Amino acid sequence: MASSVLSPFKPVQVASAPKPQKEARLRTLYARLGELKQTRNAVILAHLYERLDVQNIADHVGDSLGLSRQAAQTSADVILFCGVHFMAETAKLLSPDKKVFLGNANAGCPMADMITRQQLIAFKAQHPGVPVVAYVNTSAEVKAESDVCCTSANATGVVRALCQQHGVDRVLFVPDKNLGNYVQSQCPDIELINWDGFCPTHMRMHLEDVEALKKQYPQAMILAHPECNDDIKAVADVIGSTTVIRQTAMASDKRVFIVCTEDGVRARLAQDCPDKLFFTPTQACAVCPNMKLTRLENMIATLEHLPEADEIVIPDAIAEPARQTLALMMAIDS
Ligand code: 13P
Ligand code: SF4
């Protein structure tokens, strides 16, 4: 049943046992992280796209929405966010009194960088009076210029609620045109004016690779993230956030899944469901290099030194309006 040409991934049926040295090294690193978590009163949050060894030591693993909720609720003094910059900023906005650090301070999101505050101001000026929905994959500065925030898990409901609140049937949607197109397909009565942004990782996945896998495994269920290109979403059985993808595959009676999102989700599913087969369209295209920057050693170094220069800081003038967009999202989503 193994795929060779179609997907360079060997389907992982049973997580292969780490070599003894690897196991010993992991034990040492996990032990050190455990000590540091206690001394710093730190909580570790990890996105499902992170490396498995990072996910496996985290206190909470999830999608952007779930992790935002965890960040808002934590009683820890320090949040170590294993994800990318906008996620750590979101955690800081929701927990302003905590110290927030990224697992690796260099981890950014190219999609979030596709729109700046100045660009959004100019976009709004072209469409006066049209409210703005900002995907959570944006900087705090962009959120501060927006009316409400959304994640891949709640975008459709947020767009609908915002239109009702403002009594309008048009919104500006930034920055992901693929998520925007998906919401548009769910809300034909609303016009979404999309920014031309995209996720380079999801854009590298191609329909031909999905179709080739489906041909080889006709019984496979296709699960797609809304950041995928529209042609992939058109053939998907389920479209949803990383958590929806994970929960659907875990609950399903199916045995084979084509997972059209970043490889961390496939890896996690292969670990959690050793009796099922999981493929991504192709290995090379399914990896987000930024999400893979965080290593256990980075996390240890950050918790050891709490480097001032790396602490997430958001000026009040930006933080206040940005926080309101998250608060409105949470209120709509509750
Ligand atoms: P979700 O986990 O919210 O589905 O987000 C995916 C993503 O692209 C995060 O960068
Ligand atoms: Fe950004 Fe895409 Fe990477 Fe998510 S997967 S962090 S959207 S580049």
CATH number of residue 52's parent domain: 3.40.50.10800
- Is residue 7 situated within a structural domain? no
pLDDT digits (tens, 9 = 90+) for 39-55: 999 999 999 999 999 99
Displacement of CA 270 from its chain's centroid (Å): 19
Is 205 found in the same domain as 235? yes
- Is residue 35 situated within a structural domain? yes
- Is residue 3 situated within a structural domain? no
Is 190 found in the same domain as 124? yes
pLDDT score of 297 more than 70:
yes
Containing 317, the helix (H) or strand (E) segment is: helix 316-333
Ligand lying closest to the C-alpha of residue 262:
2
First to last CA, the chain: 43
Is 256 found in the same domain as 207? yes
Is 251 found in the same domain as 176? no
Single residue among 182, 198, 214 that ends a domain in this structure: 198
Is 73 found in the same domain as 61? yes
Number of structural domains (the chain) is 3
Contact 62, 42 (CB under 8 A): no
Is 179 found in the same domain as 120? yes
Q: Report residue 58's pLDDT band, with 50, 70 and 90 as the boundaries.
A: very high
Single residue among 271, 286, 301 that ends a domain in this structure: 286
- Is residue 219 situated within a structural domain? yes
Q: In the prediction, which pLDDT does 17 show?
A: 56
- Is residue 324 situated within a structural domain? no
- Residue 261 CA to ligand 2 centre (angstroms): 10
Containing structural domain, residue 79: 20-108+292-310
Is the minimum distance from the CB of 184 to ligand 1 under 6 angstroms? no
Q: What phi and psi values does residue 216 have, to the nearest 5 degrees?
A: -75, -35
- Is residue 254 situated within a structural domain? yes
Is 192 found in the same domain as 209? no
**Which distant-in-sequence residues (6+ apart) come within 8 Å of 260 by Cβ?**
202, 205, 210, 222, 223, 224, 225, 228, 232, 236, 280, 281
* Substitution candidate for ligand 2 out of 67, 288, 294 with most atoms within 8 A of CB: 288
pLDDT digits (tens, 9 = 90+) for 222-257: 999 999 999 999 999 999 999 999 999 999 999 999
What is the C-alpha to C-alpha distance for residues 273 and 172, in angstroms, rounded to an integer? 40
- Is residue 315 situated within a structural domain? no
Single residue among 144, 171, 198 that ends a domain in this structure: 198
